[in-house]
Amino acid sequence: MIVRTEEEWQGLREIGAIVAHVRDALIAQVREGITTLELDQLGAELLAKHGAESAPIKMYDFPGHTCISVNETVAHGIPGDRVLQAGDIVNVDVSAYKNGFYADTGATTVVQPDSSPIKQRLIECAALAVDVSIKKARAGAKLNSIGAAVYRETRKRGFYIVQNLTGHGIGRSLHEEPEHIVSYYDPDDTTLLEDGQVIALESFVSTGAEQVSQGDDGWALQTDDGSFVAQFEHTVVVTKDKAVILTLGGQLD
């Protein structure tokens, strides 16, 4: 999607603010003893309160309003009766639709108390990775230059990129062109970002795994080697000067 009107800006800002609000509310409730279903139910309530629909349900009939992924499950985790334990790495991914527009966002945290410093360093690196991609995303930039920068900063800190999970275009649909925005250098991808283009930038940073595979439930994407993984994601609009982040967060009325 290319944003061309003030009405489109307003619609994207609204749904961006909603998913960010839900993301932050769920992350704040991550604690020992709560179930992933209880987190998802809160997400459902907040989406409904603000007049938004769950994008995974609307687009794919996903069995949950949000994706809650824990430990070996890296993405597309189905909310259920899993009880969170101290030290669990938890990813909350929220995507939603309202008035013709979609936005997508995610964040990762660790259930406290946790005595493993590598998990916190991993989360900090994943947050840095998406920040690096946002700073590189401007009109005229090559997509592969973004991936190269993210990969370089990640490896510098001793971590790895999960290469078969990527960012994507978004706006009028949950997934649009470009279909894949990778977090490593792809010499064959010389796609240039356009002024007004709407994209979801995300990086999955790992302690070892560079690939994930689908779990038995047909949805969850998992590591096979026990690697820890963290992800952050923002929906942005590319401009000539910088990327405008639609999913920063904050309070809604």
CA dist 240 → 13, 42, 247 (Å): 18, 38, 19
CB atoms within 10 A of CB 122: 24
Q: What pLDDT sits at residue 20?
A: 98
Predicted confidence (pLDDT) at residue 207 exceeds the cutoff of 80: yes
Q: What pLDDT sits at residue 253?
A: 60
What size, in residues, is the chain?
Answer: 253
Instruction: Give pLDDT tens digits for 56-73.
Output: 999 999 999 999 999 989
53 vs 47: CA distance, rounded Å:
6
Dump strand ranges (E) for 34-100. 53-54, 67-70, 73-75, 89-98
The dihedrals phi and psi of 41, each to the nearest 5 degrees, come to: -65, -40
Confidence class of residue 21 from pLDDT cuts 50, 70 and 90? Answer: very high
Note the helical H segments in the chain. Answer: 6-29, 36-49, 55-60, 117-136, 143-156
In percent, the amount of the chain with pLDDT more than 90 equals 95
In percent, the amount of the chain with pLDDT more than 70 equals 99
Predicted confidence (pLDDT) at residue 252 exceeds the cutoff of 90: no
Asked if 162 contacts 209 with a C-beta cutoff of 8 angstroms, the reply is yes
16 vs 34: CA distance, rounded Å:
26
Instruction: Give pLDDT tens digits for 126-137.
Output: 999 999 999 999
Average pLDDT over residues 147-167: 97
Predicted confidence (pLDDT) at residue 251 exceeds the cutoff of 90: no
Average pLDDT over residues 106-135: 96
Instruction: Give pLDDT tens digits for 34-55.
Output: 999 999 999 999 999 999 999 9
Q: What pLDDT sits at residue 120?
A: 95
Average pLDDT over residues 212-234: 94
